[in-house]
Amino acid sequence: MSQPSTDATRWFTDLVESQQALLTAAAGGPEIPVAKQWTEALAASTEWQLDTWNQLTGQWAAMFGLGPAAKPIADRRFAGEAWTKDPRFEATARAYLTQVDLLTKALEAAPLDERSKGQWSFALRQVVDALSPANNLMTNPEAQQLALETGGRSLIEGMRLFTEDLAKGRVSMTDESAFEVGENVATTPGAVIYQNELIQVIQYTPTTDEVHERPLVIIPPCINKFYILDLQPENSFVAHAVAEGHPVFLLSWRNIGPEQGQITWDDYVVDGVLQAIDVALDVTGADKANTLGFCAGGTLLASALGVLQAGGDQKAASMTLLTTLLDFTDTGEIGLLVDEASVAQREARIGNGGVLQGSELAQVFSLLRANDLIWPYVVKGYLQGQAPPPFDLLYWNSDDTNLPGPMFSWYLRNLYLENKLREPGGTVQAGVPVDLGSLDIPSFVYASRADHIVPWTSAYASTQFLGGKPTFVLGASGHIAGVINPPAKNKRNYWVSKKRGSYDPDPEKWLDSAKSVPGSWWPVWHEWLAKTAGDKVAAPQSLGSGTYTEIEPAPGSYVKEKAPKP
C-alpha cells in the first residue's frame, strides 16, 4: 500500500509548490517565508496522515487475515503474552501506539521553532505515557489475569500499596525498609572531622601502607546524597580511590531545612567547597589537592577553583569533572522547563529566603523518564499488587535533598537561563569575577553517552574553554550507571582521543575519530590522577589533625537527615 501514499504525497507537493508560485507572483517578489513554512508543514502532515492510515488499515487487515502479518509489538509495556493472546487487547495496544505515532509526527510537522517543539513534545509525552492501556486495569490483560488467579488479592494488595504511597506523596520504586545509611549503604570506614551549618567533611581510613602526598577532595552533587559514590563495597567509587592509595576527603552536604533557607550560592562555594579543600590540606600538610566534582558538584567545584584563580591562590593540583555542565547552551529537556517567567516566579517565591523541596526536583527527574521511573511501578504495584524489590540505587534516588531558595534561584538564572559561567568574568562569585579559561591546571572531563540530565555533547564543550590541558573521556550508559562502573565487573566501554589533547569543536566529529576501549574508565582516570598525586608517604595512623579531630564515624549525621517537609 506504499504506492498510493507516495503518489498522494507527490500530488500534494506539486499542489503546494504551485500555490507557492502564485503567492510569490502575487507579492511581486521572492518566496513568502510564512507561506513556504506552512506549505512545507502541510506537505509533511499529509504524508504522515497517509502513513498513519496505512498503519491502521494494515493492522486491522492483518488481524482478519486480509493482509500480511503485522510486525510484533516492540514496546516492552506490551511484551507479555497476555497482550497478544487476546486480539482485543492487541488491537488496543496497536491502536494506542499508532495514535501516539500520529500525534508525535503531527507535532514534528508543526511550523514551530525547535524550543517550542521540545516543550510541546515533553508535555505530549507526559500525557500519552499516562494514557497507556498498560496503566489502566480495564485495558491491562496481565493485571486482570492476575486478579482472577489470586481471587482479587492482588487488587487488595495494590490498594494497600497505593495508600502507603499516597501518604508518602510519591510512587515507591524500591523496598526502602531494606536499607539504612551507614549500615548497608555508605559503609566505607572513616570519620567526620569538620562540620559547619552547611557541610560535614569526611576523611576515609587508608587501606594501604602508603598513600599519595596530595589528598583527593570529592565534591558530590548537592541535589542528591553523596552515597551514590559509596553504595556497596563492590561498586564504591570512594573505596576504590582509597584502595588506589589516595587520601580521600569527601564533602557531605546538609539537607536544608527552614533554618538554612537564607544560604546563597556563594556560601556553597566558600563555606562548602573551599572549606573542604582547606580542611584536607591542613590535615595532610600537602601544598595542593586533587579535586573531583560530580554533576552539580562539578559546577560548584569549577566555580570555586575559578574564585581561587582570580585571587592568585590556586590550591588545586587538578580538577576532575564527572557529568558536569559548565556550558549551559544545551541542557537537554530540563532546559525546556526553564525560561524567564519560571525563573522570575521562583525568585519571587524563594529567591530571598525559603526552601526548594527535594521532592519537587525528584519529580522533574522522574518525568524525564516516566516510562522507566514512574509507570512501571504504578502497574506492578497498584494494578498487580507486587511491592518493589530492594534496589540500592533506587533507594538513593528516593532519598530527597532540599536546597536553599537563594542558592537555587542564582543557579537557575545565571547558569541555566543566562549561561554566564562559560563567559570570562560572566559571573561574580565570592566577590570576584570568575574566568574558567584562566584555570591553568590539568582537568579530566568525563561524560556519559546516554546521559539524559547532562548531554554528553554539553559536557564535552568544557574542553573548548577550560584552561590547562583538558582530557576528555566518554563512557557508555547513563548519568549514574556510566559513572559507577567498577573495573571488576568488566562492563560497558569508553571512548578516548586517538591523538592526545586533540578536541575538535564538533563533539560528533571527535567521537567519529575516537577510540573505543572495553571495560571501565576508572583505570585510565587513576593513571591520569597519579601524575598530580605526589610521592608516596606512610599512611597516617589516625584520622584528623590537631585542628580537626574526629566528630563522629562516617558517613556522618548530615547524610542521614531526611528532607524536612514544609
**What secondary structure letter does DSSP report for 433?**
E
pLDDT at 450 over 80: yes
Instruction: Name residue, grid cell 522570575.
Output: 344
- Positions marked catalytic: 295
For 75, 90, 376, 553, the CA distances from 132, given in Å and listed in that order, are: 11, 13, 11, 48
Residues spanned by the domain of 370: 151-178+358-399
Q: Is the pLDDT of residue 31 over 50?
A: no
| Nearest alpha carbon to residue 109 among 122, 121, 125 | 121
The pLDDT score that the predictor gives to residue 263 is 98
In CATH, what number is assigned to the domain containing residue 284? 3.40.50.1820
pLDDT greater than 70 at residue 415: yes
- Residue 502's pLDDT is 75
Q: Answer yes or no: is 81 within a domain.
A: yes
Using DSSP, state whether 426 is helix, strand or coil.
coil
The verdict on residue 363 lying in a domain is: yes
Q: Does 300 score more than 70 pLDDT?
A: yes
Shared domain check, 321 and 279: yes
| CA 90 – CA 98 distance, rounded (Å) | 12
User: In which element (H, E) is residue 219 found?
Assistant: strand 216-219
Task: Judge whether 182 and 555 are in contact, CB under 8 Å.
Answer: yes
Residue 328 shares a structural domain with residue 427? yes
Average pLDDT of the residues in 147-167: 95
Instruction: State residue 37's pLDDT score.
Output: 44
Q: How many domains are there within the chain?
A: 3
Cell 589528598 locates to 215
274 and 202, same domain (yes or no) = yes
The verdict on residue 537 lying in a domain is yes
pLDDT band at 69 (very low <50, low <70, confident <90, very high): low
Question: Residue 36 pLDDT more than 80?
Answer: no
Give the confidence band of 421 by pLDDT, cuts at 50, 70, 90: very high
Q: Which residues of 65-84 are buried (b: 16+ CB within 10 A; e: fewer)?
A: eeeeeeeeeeeebbeeebbe
Task: Output the nine-digit C-alpha cell for 508.
Answer: 560528533
- Looking at every residue in the chain, the average pLDDT score rounds to 89
Asked if residue 288 lies in contact with residue 281, where contact means CB atoms within 8 angstroms, the answer is yes
- What's the DSSP call for residue 482? T
| 123 and 57 co-located in one domain | yes
The band of 428, judged by pLDDT with boundaries at 50, 70 and 90, is very high
Q: What is the pLDDT of residue 45?
A: 42
- The confidence score (pLDDT) of residue 500 equals 75
Task: Give the pairing of strands 316-322 and 355-356.
Answer: unpaired
Give residues with Cβ within 8 angstroms of 454, minimum separation 6. 295, 323, 324, 325, 332, 447, 448, 479
- Within-domain flag for 566: no
